[in-house]
Chain A
Amino acid sequence: MVTSNLVEVSQSVHSMYEDLYQRGWTDGLPIIPPTKELVQACVDYVGRDAGEIVAEIPPAGGVATIEKVAINAVMAGCRPEYMPVLLAAIEAIMDPEFDLRLVQVTTNPATPFLIVNGPIRQQIELNCGASALGPGFRANATIGRAIRLLLLNVGGATPGRVDKATLGWPGKFTMCLGENEESSPWEPFHVERGFSPDQSTVTVIPAAGSFNMYAGTKGEFGGADSALTIIAHTMTAMGGNEIITPWHNYPVLILNQMHARIFAGVGLSKQQVKQILWERARLPMGLLPSWLAEEKRGCGLVAEGMMLLTDKPERLTIVVAGGPSGLHSTYVPTIGAGLPPVTKLIKIPRR
């Protein structure tokens, strides 16, 4: 049973928006009013006690119960059936490997980027295809937004005061997609990480931006050679935290299905693609500012006069998503800081 305090607000949409904005309960956008009935429906869907504690979200340490998750989910516009994804995503961002406290307060613009795999994508109509990182799809838009509202309303990451992001970026409103497993020539990302194809998972990554790459495919090796070179050199953008920070970092690529098929078409496995990208994503040490060169030498990330992106290709993440046309793939710079992707099982309630 929902037990949180009830607050009386105007029924007028605009007045309510103004009221809740002034209370600091929103991300700046209008919200769906979390009435007791709507919240109860979300709680009922997962079949767990409303008061069960799911997390204490840093830095404020606010207690996220099933009920608080449901309230913020309703506010974000979620359907009840999105709740299992949200709960798994919270479990993932609360994993110590993700270092949520850092992500919440840093000057870096990092935000949890949610990647969903498995059958739940179809069940909740999560977009994996065209515009998977863009507007127009309720599940993608509202699941990511619900996480942000929880980070604000329970984690206390008030922008400017606690969340010290110098600029932030629009991905902090919402960032969620599904892998386009059906269009990928390779095994799904969650299977690569040890789950079975019939399980559903969510993976979180501390994303600091989105770098579109038009990676043309003219020329040798069925065009793969050209695309791999373009992608590799995009990943060496010097200002990215993967390059600037002295840790074992985990670069992330969202490959569109055309690139993936072109690579697979010339016989490359996902691991081989990672290997080639790792071999090519290097910078001449002479290009680096002296302090950065010294840093990289200290880290052992130098080979034959070239700076290595990271110490081994296995640290690269490759996920396939997007529509069927256009040679656009995306490099997702992260906070660096040695934070790996974290994947959790989505537990579907028995009905």
Chain B
Amino acid sequence: MSGSTILIVDPIGEPRISGLQLAPRPESLEGLTVGLVSNGWWSFNVVQHHYEELLKERCGVGDVVFVNVDSARIKERGFRRSDNPSQINGNLDAKSFEELASKCDVVINGLGN
């Protein structure tokens, strides 16, 4: 430490799990099955089928699988819309996770709102 500097302590808290790698990315989506995970927000059901059209038209995607995030806690908390479950911040349940893993080559997460 020189005379014109001081030492301070790093405030950043790193996650306990580190070193996770991204899954390999395909070079093309041609003919692949793509999973789309909806957070269940109101606007997503309006746009999700446009995503399907665009993925098929522009990227040659073979099929699209839709999965909604579910959250029992949200259900307990209040109400659900009959036509479009209003769920926010839920976690993907094990069954949906398995469905995506077994059917899809690629999954796009984090869409909505």
Contacts and interface: CB of A to CB of B under 8 A. Distances in A.
Asked if A and B are interacting partners, one says yes
A153 B12 CA distance: 5
A6 interface: yes
A64 interface: yes
Given A10-B4, A107-B113, A248-B78, A4 B9 contact: yes
8 contacts: A11-B5, A25-B12, A61-B17, A62-B12, A107-B113, A246-B80, A299-B78, A300-B79
Interface string B1-43: 1011111111111111100000000000000000000000000
Interface string B73-92: 11001111110001011000
B38 to A, nearest CB: 16
A99 B9 CA distance: 29
A154 B15 CA distance: 8
Interface in A1-47: 2, 4-12, 16, 25, 33-36, 39
Given A35-B6, A299-B78, A63 B16 contact: yes
B97 to A, nearest CB: 18
Contacts of B80: 246
A211 B13 CA distance: 34
A136 interface: no
A274 interface: no
Contacts of A4: 9-11
Given A63-B16, A246-B78, A299-B79, A10 B5 contact: yes
Contacts of B6: 8-11, 16, 33, 35
Nearest to A107: B113
B interface, over-half SS: loop
B92 to A, nearest CB: 14
Interface in A204-257: 245-248
A337 interface: yes
B16 A338 contact: no
Interface in A48-76: 56-57, 60-65, 67-68, 71-72, 75
The 8 closest A-B pairs by CB, nearest first: A247-B78, A154-B13, A62-B13, A338-B77, A102-B89, A61-B15, A5-B10, A338-B78
A328 interface: no
Contact of B8 (A33, A107, A149): A33
B11 A72 contact: yes
